[in-house]
Amino acid sequence: MDEQSRWRHMASAPKDGRRILVTIYPSEQGASEVDLAYWSHGDQFGAEGWRAADSSPGCIIEYAEPELKCWMAMPSASPSRTSMPPPWKGEEDQELDGSGI
């Protein structure tokens, strides 16, 4: 699996505004899923934090840090890839990115 297409801990997610894929923890609202999110430094629409606006046009969704399990860089465009990767299904005590720390 190449560097771009693996899940990583949210602690290492970029907070520079670029869009990334995130796995959302399962909750009473539904199963775990993948969303396209970015870090916002805060503006007239809300406080600093993780947001998603691409999945629901016209609706800005704010995610609290504990709602997000892990992240992955945006995959490059490819005609053979037509959908999002599946959410990370591993257990909390399993390694996400090869780090045992």
In a domain, 7, yes or no: yes
What are the pLDDT digits (tens) for 10-28? 999 999 999 999 999 998 8
In a domain, 14, yes or no: yes
pLDDT band at 101 (very low <50, low <70, confident <90, very high): very low
> Is pLDDT above 60 for 1?
no
In a domain, 90, yes or no: no
Q: Considering only CA atoms, which of 63, 2, 9, 66 is closest in space to residue 36?
A: 63
In a domain, 82, yes or no: no
Pairing of strands 20-24, 8-9: unpaired
Which two tokens mark 35? 């969303």
Please give the residue range of the domain that contains residue 67: 3-73
In a domain, 67, yes or no: yes
pTM, 2 dp: 0.71
Q: Considering its fold, how many domains does the chain have in total?
A: 1
DSSP-assigned letter for residue 44:
T
Which two tokens mark 31? 């199963």
Answer yes or no: are the C-beta atoms of 23 and 88 closer than 8 Å: yes
What are the pLDDT digits (tens) for 53-97? 776 667 888 999 999 999 999 887 766 666 677 787 777 656 666
Tell me which H or E stretch contains 3.
none
